[in-house]
């Protein structure tokens, strides 16, 4: 529970604090600005509280009609190397250039 956004009128505090938002943003590889972190913390509290209603859902048998869809493993026409690279910001010798790994 957060102690950063306690309200005066005794309402429930948001279920998510800024630190938690930063942690999830880190996991999701999305950098956030500080004001975005605060805004999301407040909104996530409301939204997750609303999702709590899922606790009332009875366990239901999940019968999916699932079938495997297979096709012969044959070479088919695909994108050319040129096409595959066409949208990349940076390429070199027919490869994508990514940021350094560490």
Asked if 12 interacts with other proteins (CB under 8 A), we say no
**Closest C-alpha to 43, from 63, 20, 60, 23:** 20
For residue 19, the minimal CB distance to other proteins (Å) is: 13
Whole-number minimum distance, CB 20 to other proteins, in Å? 8
Binding string to other proteins for residues 47 to 66, with x set by CB under 8 A, is what? xx-xx-xxxxxxxxxxx---
Work out whether 1 is an interface residue with other proteins (CB under 8 A).
no
Distance of CA 54 to the CA centre of its chain: 20
* Residues 3, 17: Cα–Cα separation, whole Å: 8
């Amino acid at each position: 529970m957060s102690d950063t956004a306690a309200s005066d009128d005794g309402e429930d505090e948001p279920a998510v604090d800024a630190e938690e938002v930063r942690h999830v943003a880190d996991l999701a590889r999305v950098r956030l600005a500080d004001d975005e972190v605060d805004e999301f913390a407040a909104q996530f509290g409301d939204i997750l509280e609303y999702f709590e209603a899922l606790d009332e859902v009875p366990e239901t048998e999940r019968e999916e009609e699932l079938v495997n869809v297979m096709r012969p493993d044959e070479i088919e026409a695909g994108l050319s190397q040129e096409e595959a690279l066409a949208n990349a910001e940076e390429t070199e010798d027919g490869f994508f250039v990514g940021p350094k790994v560490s």
